[in-house]
Amino acid sequence: MQKGKKKTKKNITPSGKAYITAGINNTIITVTDNEGNALFFGSSGKAGFKGSRKSTPYAATKAAEKVGAEAYEAGMRELSVFIKGPGLGRISSVKALKGSGLNVVSISDQTPMPHNGCRPKNKRRM
């Protein structure tokens, strides 16, 4: 018989960072410590939503509530939030993290912006 690995408790600091990637089809929330090591993670898909319902603000709220509750139970109290992407779950996920008892210290938007963008399509010839 093979013995399973003994689960060790993570050493969690009271402050950390939350990275919210709000894509067009899904919202992914990752909570890390101050060094950037991932501790907790959740998404709209992991919260039980499928298909086009994953991209809704409600699904993002539910995903953020689950991740926030996990982090709060483990002893985390303060978060710096970094948002990336054009999705609908941007604001609602931050509100849900606040609602789960975590103190949001700062919110910064890291959405990449094109300096010149893609080459435009050719003009139609008639």
| Residue that the structure tokens 């969690």 belong to | 12
Candidates 82, 34, 88, 19; CA nearest to 56 is: 88
Share the mean pLDDT of the chain.
Answer: 92
Q: What number is the average pLDDT over the span 92-117? A: 94
pLDDT at position 47 is 93
Report all structural domains of the chain as residue ranges with CATH numbers, in order of start. Answer: 15-109 (3.30.420.80)
Q: What number is the average pLDDT over the span 17-33? A: 95
In angstroms, how far is CA 107 from the centroid of its own chain? 12
Q: In this predicted model, what pLDDT tens digit does every residue of 80-94 receive, in sequence order?
A: 999 999 999 999 999
Model confidence at 126: pLDDT above 90: no
Model confidence at 2: pLDDT above 90: no
Burial 74-103 (b: 16+ CB within 10 A, else e): eebeebbbbbbbebbbbebbbebbeebebe
Residue 1 pLDDT grade (very low, low, confident, very high; cuts 50, 70, 90): low
